[in-house]
Amino acid sequence: MFIRIFGMSRRAASLRWCRAVEEVVSQSRGGSALSMAFLDLDERAAQRQAQKHQVQAPGPTLLATTEEGEVVARCADEAAVHAFLSRLQGR
């Protein structure tokens, strides 16, 4: 699974999302379906990917896809992101 976060500034809330994703990735190496995470903080690259995946939320958006590009989850608020990460961790 690939996780991308779009539309991020480097505000504290955005960094919390990044830390949460990094924590899930680091805990899941070796056995989880989660194999990679991309934190797209480069605005131009993030905009291109967001257009490709039709992400149209005005704020930050987390997008999880399979390796084939199928969208597994699209979360556009902090509560949804944390719920998604909790599901990945099996909580």
pLDDT band at 73 (very low <50, low <70, confident <90, very high): confident
Task: Look at the pTM and tell me if it is higher than 0.85.
Answer: no
pLDDT band at 32 (very low <50, low <70, confident <90, very high): very low
Please give the distance of CA 52 from its chain centroid, rounded to a whole number. 15
Indicate whether 31 pLDDT > 70: no
Mean pLDDT of all residues belonging to the chain: 64
Say how far apart CA 51 and CA 46 lie, in whole Å: 9
Rg (C-alpha) for the chain, rounded Å, is 12
Whether 39 has a pLDDT exceeding 50, the answer reads no
2-89: which CATH topology?
Answer: Glutaredoxin (3.40.30)
| Main-chain dihedrals φ then ψ at residue 33, nearest 5 degrees | -70, -15
Produce one character per residue of 38-74: b if its CB has 16 or more CB atoms within 10 Å, e if not.
ebbbeeeebeebbeebebeeeebbbbbbeeeeeeebb
Residue range 19-48: average pLDDT?
A: 56
Give the start-to-end residue ranges of the domains of the chain: 2-89
Token pair recorded at residue 57: 């939320």
Q: Is the pLDDT of residue 84 over 70?
A: yes
Amino acid 25: pLDDT: 63
Which pLDDT score is estimated for 81? 75
